[in-house]
Structure 1
Amino acid sequence: MPEQSLSLSLHPAIGTIDAAEWDRCAGPDNPFVSHAFLSAVEDSGSAGSRTGWLPRHAVLRDDTGAIVAAAPMYAKSHSYGEYVFDHGWAAAFERAGGQYYPKLQVASPFSPVPGPRLLVSPAVPPAQQGAIMQAMAAALSQACGELSLSSVHVTFCRPEEYESLGQAGWLQRLGTQFHWENAGYASFDDFLAGFNSRKRKVVRRERRDANACGLEFRTLRGADITRAHWKAFYRFYTSTVDRKWGSAYLTERFFPLLSERLGDRVVLMLAEDSGRPVAGALNLLGSDALYGRNWGCSGDWPFLHFELCYYRAIEFAIEHGLARVEAGAQGEHKIQRGYLPKPTYSAHWIAHPGLRRAVADFVAEERAARLLEMQALAEYSPYRQEAPAGEED
């Protein structure tokens, strides 16, 4: 650990932290931890007392007052909107007489997007960055104890953060998502050429049917997305939430505010019927990835979801030379469309020794099961295996 004193402060709003200082730690790669995104979530009323996501952003400073690390953090009175499920832990602890909530959640709200969570300043020498992560981990667990909270959860973190937190004694948990990776494709047809023939035909049929519905498809960015577009998209968003029995965390104000603050990093793919938007898929653009977030539709058209959310995202990534598309949580159906299983990572610090032991046993068994599951799912890959000489698929 660096030979200096470090102090942790917790902030009730991202707006109380200088945007340039925060973004220097967050880096340019992942928009979901940018000051712009987090401020749009808060200023729109999406994260706050209404939704039970109370900002408590962590900032670690050295003895000169300079920020050496930060973390987007929230005090939670429930486990909704996280996509890494600990409801069972909470129920078991409370049946035993414990109090699981409130807890601390280090995350990007409502966003199951892997990315940095322990944001270390680039001013910290590379050789000391691991030590700063360890210092942040220690500071967060100490703050949790001083506040008499049950736990701290760092979800959808990077592999190196996962390892560092594990070394600090945090419990490690694996999840699964489905990502598309760009192998230097020149076009969508070039990508499909890598499929076996049967699965290639399925994708072509889905695209043909989706594009034969008489809808017009548009990809809009930044200032090209109007208030009318966002009004329509919010309708799609709430109708999808209603059908899934979920909660509409994001307010109507969030979407135009996000567009205003993130500009061209907001990519909205729309389907229109005679000029009227009938479906949309919201994506955010990182330095090397397109991140799919929200989708909604006001009608029923064959394969429209696949076209807007998966295939057009792949086309966009190929056109812009992006390394991958991350299409959100869950969805084994994505495998047949070229999105293969990838591990996601989280780490958990739990104060109560008995609960900690029980959760440690659970996540150890779960990790082993996840690895086997990902291996089994990979067998359903649509990509053509190398055939022996003289044979074709």
Structure 2
Amino acid sequence: MEVKIYTAISKIDRLEWNKCCEEAAGKGKENPFLAWEFLNALEESGSASGASGWAPHHLVVHDKHSSRILACAPVYLKGHSYGEYVFDHSWARAYRTFSSDNYYPKLQCCVPFTPVMGPRLMARGETEEEARRARRALARGMVELCSKYGLSSAHVTFPTKEDWELMGRQGFLLRTGIQYHWRNEGYQSFDEFLMRLKQSRRKSIRQERNKVAKAGVRVKALTGEEIEERHWDAFYQFYLNTVDEKWGQAYLNRKFFTLLGREMANKVLLVVAEEEETGELVAGALNLIGGDCLYGRNWGCSKKYDSLHFELCYYQAIDAAIRMGLQRVEAGAQGEHKISRGYLPTFTYSAHFIRVPNFRNAVNQALVQERDQIIYASAMLTLQESPYKVNQHRSSSSPC
């Protein structure tokens, strides 16, 4: 096996990359964020580039004899810690206590600006052992890059638990987090889902949906050719409005959404609200459709309506997942308010290689304490805040 670095995904064969992506995810579990088309849209638009602090350094494992791609990983050389959703700013500040070097640049293996779990060590092989060897080669490749170029660290964020455990065996420190996901228990309709909830929560959700229904706006779920450039124009402004409201940074530019619509329209579910009288688009929520999951990503609006955010981001997503027969909805990072709407705590994972031994030991001690707190918080939130009548929707088992 031979590990190579590619400074643009456009230099990697599209079909070969996607075959690794599909085999790593498993049949029927396609993850659209790992597709060559999605990552290329980020790079071609300039959203993920050296200028934005996301310089592509994708790792690819080749068979030395045939040059066939056996495995690949989306990797970036980072000059900062923004857009990752697994926070290490405090590590960067503390690093100078242990080393005279700078914390940046560092290696980051992830999908930029996307807190969505999925394979990171994407491998295929004629046998399971060949695929495991290729995945280990990717993990070792990140470690070797840190040593070769004197980088402080390598971080793999939102991997699958399987990748997380493999990287732990390769010397990476293991970290856990919490998101809030909705799981489909074979519901045939939104009302059937509601009937699983406690009466107070069922009543509250119906009231929120009725407020939107009576607000003089129409809600539409668009996909494929139904999404026009005018929808992207409006949604991009909604996205900027949300960024401004939260004092954040607009990681995605307008060109990205055009490329996304052009290359992956059939994987996009854009939920929009328009005024009934004028037809003006006033809000939108962007989702991507996976093989077994609907992924909620961005939301924004130009006018405020009571409960419209909950309708577009959470209830319409549940409606769509039931209609499409998807197993779950992942509604993005943060947000304990999602629990009362049926989205319960679920563990997420990240793995971190720290090159300086003393600093690695200090970080490891902190992560052990943090992991205990995360496990306790997840259990308490599920136990105390769950809206379900019978608490059959528990968070995943202990990550340890």
The two structures have a TM-score, normalised by structure 1, of 0.95
Amino acid at match of 2:62: R
Distance, in Å, in 1 between the alignment partners of 2:96 and 2:267 is: 42
Matched position secondary structure for 2:331:
strand
Which of structure 1's runs of 4+ aligned residues deviate more than 3 A?
Answer: 95-98
CA apart distance, 1:385: 2.3
Selected match of 2:199 from 178, 197, 200: 197
CA apart distance, 1:167: 1.1
Deviations 1:205-228 (A, max 9, x none): 111112211101111112211111
CA apart distance, 1:130: 2.5
* 1:214 corresponding residue in structure 2: 216
CA contact (8 A) 2:58 2:72 kept: yes
The count of residues paired between Structure 1 and Structure 2 equals 381
Alignment of 1:138-157 (within 5 A): 138-157=140-159
* 1:372 corresponding residue in structure 2: 376
* 2:114 corresponding residue in structure 1: 111
Confirm whether residue 10 of structure 1 aligns to residue 5 of structure 2. Answer: yes
Amino acid at match of 1:315: D
Confirm whether residue 99 of structure 1 aligns to residue 102 of structure 2. Answer: yes
CA contact (8 A) 2:123 2:131 kept: yes
Selected match of 2:390 from 363, 385, 393: 385
Selected match of 1:337 from 336, 341, 361: 341
* 1:77 corresponding residue in structure 2: 79
Matched position secondary structure for 2:332:
strand
Distance, in Å, in 1 between the alignment partners of 2:128 and 2:209 is: 46
* 2:395 corresponding residue in structure 1: none
Amino acid at match of 2:387: P
CA apart distance, 1:42: 0.6
Matched position secondary structure for 2:274:
strand
Deviations 1:150-174 (A, max 9, x none): 1110000000000101111110000
5+ residue gaps, structure 1, are 1-5, 387-393
* 1:300 corresponding residue in structure 2: 304
5+ residue gaps, structure 2, are 23-28, 392-400
Deviations 1:348-376 (A, max 9, x none): 11101111011111111111110011001
Matched position secondary structure for 1:384:
coil
* 1:391 corresponding residue in structure 2: none
Alignment of 1:175-186 (within 5 A): 175-186=177-188
Deviations 1:289-344 (A, max 9, x none): 00000000111100000000000000000011000000000000000000000000
Matched position secondary structure for 2:147:
helix
Amino acid at match of 1:293: R
CA apart distance, 1:95: 4.5
Matched position secondary structure for 1:79:
coil
* 2:129 corresponding residue in structure 1: 127
Amino acid at match of 1:383: Y
CA contact (8 A) 1:130 1:164 kept: no
Amino acid at match of 1:360: N
Distance, in Å, in 2 between the alignment partners of 1:86 and 1:49 is: 20
Matched position secondary structure for 2:164:
helix
Amino acid at match of 1:348: H
Distance, in Å, in 1 between the alignment partners of 2:32 and 2:216 is: 34
* 2:70 corresponding residue in structure 1: 68
CA contact (8 A) 1:68 1:124 kept: no
CA contact (8 A) 2:50 2:56 kept: no
* 1:259 corresponding residue in structure 2: 261
User: What is the Cα-based RMSD across aligned positions, in Å?
Assistant: 1.3
Distance, in Å, in 2 between the alignment partners of 1:349 and 1:300 is: 44
Alignment of 1:262-281 (within 5 A): 262-273=264-275, 274-281=278-285
Distance, in Å, in 2 between the alignment partners of 1:98 and 1:176 is: 32
Distance, in Å, in 2 between the alignment partners of 1:278 and 1:315 is: 21
* 2:398 corresponding residue in structure 1: none
Selected match of 2:16 from 16, 21, 24: 21
Distance, in Å, in 2 between the alignment partners of 1:151 and 1:225 is: 41
Confirm whether residue 318 of structure 1 aligns to residue 316 of structure 2. Answer: no
CA apart distance, 1:129: 2.6
Amino acid at match of 2:301: C
Distance, in Å, in 2 between the alignment partners of 1:326 and 1:134 is: 28
Distance, in Å, in 1 between the alignment partners of 2:216 and 2:51 is: 41
CA apart distance, 1:98: 3.3
Alignment of 1:43-62 (within 5 A): 43-62=44-63
CA contact (8 A) 1:222 1:260 kept: no
Distance, in Å, in 2 between the alignment partners of 1:50 and 1:226 is: 29
Distance, in Å, in 2 between the alignment partners of 1:128 and 1:103 is: 29
Distance, in Å, in 2 between the alignment partners of 1:183 and 1:244 is: 34
Amino acid at match of 2:386: S
CA contact (8 A) 2:123 2:132 kept: no
Matched position secondary structure for 2:254:
coil
* 2:252 corresponding residue in structure 1: 250
